[in-house]
Chain A
């Protein structure tokens, strides 16, 4: 009685853990009827079935399932539906005849949602990252947001800065200024990232590009302000404060890259140059 149970247990787990890692183990025995999936069931299977499901259910901490196939499917389906509405992944099961169909909640139905919802979600993600970069929470939990990097935010900020600076540049130079800003931002963040990597910092390449791009935001605000206020005594402090904020935000990120203490300055120095040349272009426009 005790010997066939582990084997059947192993068989079920092994069959499905290959296909997907986050499978809900608790409901595996009800994946189909025994007649379809296992033509020759182990002796004493019918009696051992409720026990086996309890054994399987306990490690994953889910609700214990009853022995009845139909009711277990309904229970899992209800649980999956509840989890889905709460925003957590969970399978939903339905039974068509003898075959059980599992539907998983994968973060929402993105296929036939309105375009506005899609754009809104991306903009929200950019906004969250922007806040995280510019005002990093000390808890450290916020760094997880940056793991999901994107380059849309940096692109938007870079183009905004370029457009604003080229608008206020002399007409014959506006194209050159725009090109210059885009080249400085892209090549500069590339070089700064590469420099940190070469100095032995542990930093993901695109994540660093993403963060350095988002750190331009204070300078974009400063550029916007200085298109409206031309007095130097307004533009000067604003631009310098924006520069300091950008450098501070970028340094916060590089804090986590484990560069040795005696060479941190070497990794930070390019940041000063990178943001200062942008700030300088705002200042002298």
Chain B
């Protein structure tokens, strides 16, 4: 079982050697080293080669997509709350973090990074294009989201124009990465109309980027609060790093 596991012996094995409900079955998709994952993330940021065939050597992993998406969620939440707390600190306003943003980020990122590729895989199977398995679809989408990690870090800076430029660049870069890798597969279908999926993907992608921008990178509190009157403040005006003690037991 798990004691007999050696990665060197894993490749010759057929995937059907053990059932899909066992851990051993999925170990073949986690057979990566640290260097491999970092290299694939870099290749997703600089999309010059075909991702699945050249970069992954036709052996895509599941570690990268899952932890890329999870890291994106993590950084979205952390940088958003950091940016908003900096903003409220600069504008002398008590900071209350919005915890629902975390669940929104989880839902949005996993739905886009896992749900959409899974749907694409199902659709392509229906159209009998079996060039990519589910893992390939997930790998392309998951690694494609890598760019949002540095962007969310850079968007801490409270400069609206910089944020728009960064989000735009990220959307274009990851969109190009997706289309470049997905289009050859879509072109394999017999129906020409499947190529219409490319603009649909592009629209969904831009929509997600815009949603991220509006939900997570839109804390311009500094300027807004400068003109606001004290009525906007809550009843207990205290500093951002000393929340009201009454909130403790309420």
Residues in chain A within 8 A of chain B (CB atoms)? 167-171, 173, 176-177, 180, 194-195, 197-200, 202, 227, 230-232, 260, 262-266, 269-270, 273, 276-277, 280, 284-285
Contacts and interface: CB of A to CB of B under 8 A. Distances in A.
B99 A177 contact: yes
A263 B242 contact: no
A148 to B, nearest CB: 20
24 contacts: A167-B249, A168-B248, A169-B247, A170-B247, A173-B99, A173-B100, A176-B100, A176-B103, A177-B99, A180-B103, A195-B30, A197-B23, A198-B26, A198-B63, A200-B7, A231-B242, A260-B7, A262-B34, A262-B35, A270-B70, A273-B70, A280-B77, A284-B85, A285-B243
Nearest to A177: B99
Contact of A198 (B27, B95, B103): B27
B81 A230 contact: no
Given A262-B33, A266-B37, 17 more contacts: A170-B247, A173-B96, A173-B99, A177-B99, A180-B102, A195-B67, A198-B26, A200-B5, A200-B7, A232-B241, A262-B34, A263-B33, A263-B34, A264-B34, A266-B33, A273-B74, A284-B97
Contact of A202 (B2, B29, B74): B2
A180 B34 CA distance: 30
Q: Which 6 A-B pairs have the closest CB atoms?
A: A198-B30, A232-B241, A265-B34, A262-B33, A230-B242, A171-B250
A266 B32 contact: yes
B74 A170 contact: no
Most chain B CB atoms below 10 A, which of A167, A170, A197, A227: A170
A180 B99 contact: yes
Contact of B23 (A167, A170, A198, A231): A198
B71 interface: yes
Contacts of B67: 195, 269-270
B3 interface: yes
B111 interface: no
A280 B78 contact: yes
B33 to A, nearest CB: 4
A270 to B, nearest CB: 7
Contacts of B243: 168, 230, 285
Contacts of A285: 97, 243
A285 B7 CA distance: 44
A187 to B, nearest CB: 10
Interface of B: 2-3, 5, 7, 23, 26-27, 29-35, 37, 63, 67, 70-71, 74, 77-78, 81-82, 85, 95-100, 102-103, 241-243, 247-250
Query: Main secondary structure on chain A at its contact with chain B?
Result: helix
A260 B71 CA distance: 23
Contacts of B247: 168-171
B156 to A, nearest CB: 14
A170 B71 contact: no
B2 A197 contact: yes
A253 B206 CA distance: 43
B99 A200 contact: no
A202 B26 CA distance: 15
Contacts of B103: 176, 180
Contacts of B81: 280, 284
B242 A199 contact: no
B239 to A, nearest CB: 9
A231 B37 CA distance: 40
B30 A199 contact: yes
Contact of B96 (A170, A197, A269): A170
Contacts of B32: 263, 266
Contacts of A280: 77-78, 81
A7 B182 CA distance: 77
A277 B74 contact: yes
A80 B44 CA distance: 70
Contacts of A195: 30, 63, 67
Contacts of A197: 2, 23
A164 to B, nearest CB: 10
A194 B27 CA distance: 10
A273 B70 CA distance: 9
Nearest to B241: A232
B27 A200 contact: yes
B221 to A, nearest CB: 15
A200 B243 CA distance: 46
A169 to B, nearest CB: 7
Nearest to A169: B99
B69 to A, nearest CB: 12
